[in-house]
Amino acid sequence: MFLFNLSLAEFMALFSAASAVVVALYLLDRSRRSLKVATLRFWNEARRPVESTRRRRIRQWPSMLLQLAAIACLLLALAQLRWGSREDGSRDHVLILDTSAWMAAATPGVPGTRLPAAQLPTAQLPTVQLPTIQLMDQAKTNAIAYLRALPGPDRVMVVYADALATPATAFETDRKKLEEAIERAQPGQSAFDLRQALEFARQVQGRSGRRSGEIVYAGAGRMISEENVEAPPNLRVLPVEGKPDNVGLRKIGLRRSSSEADLWNIFVSVRNYGAREQNVEIGLQFGGAPAGSRAIRLAPGSETETAFALRTRAAGLLEARVRARGNALALDDRAVIELPKLEQLPVVVCSDEPGLLRPLLDAHPNVLATYRPTAQCGGGEDTGIVIYDSYVPSRQGKAHAIYLQPPPERSPAKVLSIIGNTAGNATVLKWRPDHPLSSGLRAQDLRLESAQVFAAGAQDVRIAEIEAGPVLLARPGSGPGQGKMAVLGFHPMRGALRYELTVPLLFANILRWMEPESFRRWELFAAGVGHVSVPVASGLDLAQVHVREEGGAELPFTVHGGALRFFSGKPGTVRVAAGDREQVHSLVLPEIPETVWEAPAGVRKGIPRRGTTVGGSHDLWQWLALAGALLLLVEWLWFSPSSVSGNHKVWLRSPSRDQPREPSPVRRAS
């Protein structure tokens, strides 16, 4: 036993002070004596106090003891005497409330509302509609019932748990605040991570400075993974009723066709989470118009992928929907992805022999080529890319420029020498390996029938060199608004060079280096909030990888086992850029895991009995207050003025009517 509100020294001080006052009152002699005098002249003598030489003593020991006992009981009640040890007094509990996406599912039937079949008319049996209740509401009801079953001094922390564990309150004894925090809880978009929630609960209990109570989990138990989940000995589970059926979208992927620039290949993944087979209808809309539909049949617990094709270059919203009977969760029935506008790269070719360059440009579906004779090319283009074949304009615009064997006297790069057939065939000795223009080019025996050797300037980058010097220079834009430049001292489509595989790769690299956005490989995904895994090529340079949110903030990521992984706990758009490849992840679907956790056999379940905790103590103040009041009542009835006659106690008995009542010479001390 221990005192919760007062220490033993404080209690003894208060009791001693109260006892001293009571004992002093009982020792105080307030008696009055009757004196008879013969004449008034003796009155002054009678008014003098009578000197008494006898010792003062307490005449009403039972009354004083009853009052002292009543005072002791009332002080113990104020000090909140408890049965047990102080260590087992108030405890700190952590209430983990599952706020994952699955908690938004509805299950038919509310406990206590189902009518027996015998009470229903036969004609109504097939059409009875049972009410539905959301899993989140069930968890809230269980959590509030648990709070009301705890002793008053116990503290509770409410934690919202989905993919992250977030405390909603501190350790509180105010049940009203705790219930308000439970009522505010809403299902999120991510999945439930039980391992992280239990680890968080252990840490906060260890740092609270009090005895640890229970870790209580209220939810459906559908979680990311059961790996490394170890149930603590003080775990209590408040399960929800029902296993709702649900069919929902798992993932939507869009990829541009490599052969047709305006064609999108669409893949829709649908999963049946329920325990019965479902007929599912999948529909697509683009810009509000139907774009395709499929009807499939899904077995319980299975997942399938359906392919669609959409031909468009315009930007717009692509919407995917699924419809199935008994669908309990509406969050994953619909997903919307924004398609970007597919613009072709304008390329102007200034050449008197346009037939030489047509095969190179027509092989790229994103290139819109315009061919002009050199007589009609005055220069000054400000957008796109301009190819000058053996020609240099009088004025250079802001557009990117590619020069093929420019005239030496007007070449943008100074020509040191010209190597032709008379001097023998030249051979490319080396490529610059760390530049985008030479990506994938490893040929060391490329023979040039004729070539111009340039003098590299301060801003020029040597891409390809022979023994005499560089034959291919790249010049980045020197400032804002100035285009990039590539100068080739040889013509890629003349002579035997046109049959080399290096030529189309080199030309594609030049175009991609100048306009990377036009050649970026787009992949769009609609996926669930939470953990996202992206396949990546082995040997990827992490310096070229960027994972950004919609506002431009960088997200942390890891690359392991050929996959890039990152986490986003809220709906939005995340862009993953790796070189010339960019993936846009629209995190609009809820993360619905497949694993259902079953509590081990030794874990406590359900609402505990009211006022009990694990090894807790019990309050005694109610009984002590009642005992103190009863003692005061007994003392008053026993020793009230009407119960005392002369110096003899009358035990709760009234005097006889025939016996005259004389005033008592003794008065109560209190």
Other Cβ atoms less than 10 A from the Cβ of 328: the count is 22
User: Is residue 405 left, alpha or beta, with left meaning phi > 0 and alpha meaning psi from -120 to 50?
Assistant: left
C-alpha neighbours within 13 Å on the C-beta side of residue 487? 29
Sign of the dihedral through C-alpha 627, 633, 637, 642:
positive
Neighbouring residues of 243: CB distance < 8 A, sequence distance ≥ 6: 107, 274, 275
Q: Token pair of 626, please?
A: 């009642």
- Amino acid in position 457: G
| Whole-number Å distance between alpha carbons of 510 and 506 | 6
Q: Can you count the helices (H) and strands (E) in the chain?
A: 9, 41
Residue with tokens 């995904």: 525
Residue 80 φ/ψ region, left for φ over 0, alpha for ψ in the -120 to 50 degree band, beta for the rest:
left
Nearest 5°: phi and psi at 460?
-85, 145
User: Taking the mean position of all CA atoms in its chain, how far away is CA 341?
Assistant: 32
Successive 10-residue mean pLDDT values, the chain, 670 residues: 75 86 74 61 56 61 85 85 63 93 79 36 40 86 93 90 92 93 92 91 88 91 80 92 86 84 89 89 92 91 91 90 86 89 87 89 84 84 87 85 91 88 64 86 80 89 90 82 88 84 88 82 82 77 82 85 82 82 85 85 86 57 86 82 48 44 46
Ordered by where they begin, the domains of the chain are 2-83+620-649 (no CATH), 90-244+596-616 (3.40.50), 247-342 (2.60.40.10), 345-518 (3.40.50.880), 520-591 (2.60.40.10)
Q: What is the helix (H) or strand (E) element at residue 205, kind and residue range?
A: helix 194-207
Question: Kind of pairing, strands 644-645 and 648-649?
Answer: antiparallel
Sign, Cα dihedral of 547, 549, 552, 556? negative
Are 139 and 238 spatial neighbours (Cβ–Cβ below 8 Å)? yes
Would the pTM count as exceeding 0.85? Answer: no
What pLDDT, on the 0 to 100 scale, is given for residue 667?
44
Q: How far apart are CA 527 and CA 589, in angstroms?
A: 6
CA distance 399 to 380: 8
Report pLDDT for 55.
54
Cα 523 to chain center, whole Å? 26
Q: Which residue has the tokens 């993953």?
A: 576
